[in-house]
Amino acid sequence: MRREKGAMCTPVLQFTNCRILRGRKLLREDLWVRGGRILDPERLFFEERLVADEQRDCGGCILAPGFIDVQINGGFGVDFSQATEDVGSGVALVARRLLPHGVTSFCPTLVTSPPEVYHKKEEGVGWDACLRYLCHVLPQIPVKSGGPHGAGVLGVHLEGPFISREKRGAHPEAHLRSFEANAFHDVLATYGPLDNVRIVTLAPELGRSHEVIQALTARGICVSLGHSVANLRAAEEAVQSGATFITHLFNAMLPFHHRDPGIVGLLTSDRLPPGRHIFYGMISDGMHTNPAALRIAHRAHPQGLVLVTDAVPALGLGNGRHTLGQQEVEVDGLTAYVAGTKTLSGSIAPMDVCIRHFLQATGFPGGEHWECGQGPTHRKFTAGDEDSKQADGLEPRVTGTEATAPKRRAFTPYEPWPGACGIAGLGRLQCRVGPGGCVSAPRPAAGTGEAQGDPGLWG
């Protein structure tokens, strides 16, 4: 058998006494890894005639891909929506602090802000404001692979300012915008270059929103519907234009009504384009969504559920006042409010807490609850033609004994970005028992061969 160059010098690591997440089930079996890739033990034994160079007893812990958080506004005192001289160092700090909570990749999320925060100072802005926004945010948050240094950055999630005034939630009304005569050019005027952007949340009822949705999706950017008063028809038309995601279902949208369920109705709509699937984020922190609502959504459309934290910069800090973009947030116990109001302002629960609450609320057995926090779970639901489905398919392409990551055509919030995380992720696996007693490792590929691994750490 032809061996990968350097394979003879690369030690084989065997994880024993572990539970592996596979096919929505937790299976008790060993996992074999070499050079960051999962091995087929039969090939290793019978073709290469090798045994493990090192064994690690996992003590019955779970070995699984890390979590992916596609909506997180900051944490540990770092506010992604604050323009500073060194935004990158703040992102790096959050990336490092997320690892013990099991998050191995994330989308830094910016809430509604003035245009100069996103990319540049507008004409007529005073000198004080100029100094404040001297270093704009978006160019300082590039896509970045994860590893021992911290979770990977999949790209920026822009939540607002193109949202409903009635359902703005914690977003400052003064900076909300609509699509004017130039439609997509207004988007560029607000955000600037979109190179680092992967998700945009907007309200589909805004005029000319469908032109904007089509332009964004044509550039490989995921459009999410949220902070909206859209009825079901408007939401369905947005999906027909290319939208694929819903921002924090039930929160900041019209409540479900039996004659017009609004955006919530997308979960069971029969007017979606053939082959198109809708996905939805939910904040399972015990504050934003009642356990019954979690169960209703999951039972109506289990394949589409993606747990998010919507964590604010106060994550990991104590009670008191903190920032969220242009607003002040007051943390009281387990809840964050816009200061001086009772309006919820994001969450202070990390992803592992959200996963545990979801498990308690739903009571689902096995690994189903773990997968709701993992982008790779939703790989198979990528919309598109057959070629894109193959490129974004259930398993990596396998050549010989090595699984290679195919090129990706568009980012979706329920999938890992190549080179950032997941099966199409980093070349080196970092597997160890986390402080919370869990172990992180890659998901095995089906059949024979090796699969690239997620370097994440579950805590």
Q: Which positions of the chain have pLDDT values less than 50?
A: 1-7, 122, 125-133, 376-459
Options 310, 352, 392, 454, the catalytic residue: 310
Q: What are phi and psi of 208, to 5 degrees?
A: 65, 20
Q: How many residues does the chain have?
A: 459
Whether 190 and 142 have beta carbons less than 8 Å apart is answered as no
In what helix (H) or strand (E) does residue 352 lie, and over which residues does it extend?
A: helix 351-362
In whole angstroms, how far apart are CA 323 and each of 14, 162, 414?
46, 21, 28
Separation between Cα atoms, residue 429 and residue 148, nearest integer Å: 9
Strands 152-153 and 197-202: unpaired
Bond before 161 cis per omega within 30 degrees: yes
At residue 91, the pLDDT reads 98
At residue 121, the pLDDT reads 54
DSSP line for 378-405: GGGG--S-HHHHHHT-SS-EEETTEEEP
Q: Which residues are CB-neighbours of 377 under 8 A, at least 6 positions away?
A: 371, 414
**Six-digit token pair at 304?**
């589409």
3-state secondary structure at position 95: helix
Whether 285 is a known active-site residue: answer: no
Considering only CA atoms, which of 383, 113, 104 is closest in space to residue 222? 383
At residue 149, the pLDDT reads 94
Helices (H) and strands (E) in the chain, counts: 11, 25
At residue 25, the pLDDT reads 79
At residue 295, the pLDDT reads 95
At residue 353, the pLDDT reads 95
Query: Which conformational region is residue 208 in: left (phi greater than 0), alpha (psi within -120 to 50 degrees), or beta?
Result: left
With b for 16 or more beta-carbon neighbours within 10 A and e for fewer, the 348-381 pattern comes to: bbbbbbbbebbbebbebeebbbbbbbbbbbbbeb
Quickly tell me which residue has 């490792």 as its tokens.
441
At residue 339, the pLDDT reads 95
At residue 374, the pLDDT reads 67
**Residue 434's CB: how many other CB atoms inside 10 A?**
18
Residue type, 316: G
Q: What is the pLDDT of residues 322-346, one digit of tens each?
A: 999 999 999 998 899 999 999 999 9
Separation between Cα atoms, residue 59 and residue 64, nearest integer Å: 14
Strands 31-34 and 439-440: unpaired
At residue 207, the pLDDT reads 95
Half-sphere exposure for 322 (CA within 13 Å, toward CB): 29
Angle at 66 between CA 65 and CA 68, to 5 degrees: 120
Residues of the chain with CATH 3.20.20.140: 67-121+132-362
**Six-digit token pair at 368?**
């189903």
Q: What are phi and psi of 83, to 5 degrees?
A: -75, 120
At residue 182, the pLDDT reads 86
Considering only CA atoms, which of 52, 46, 21 is closest in space to residue 34? 52
Separation between Cα atoms, residue 96 and residue 425, nearest integer Å: 18
CATH fit for domain 67-121+132-362, picks 3.30.10.20, 3.40.50.720, 3.40.190.10, 3.20.20.140? 3.20.20.140
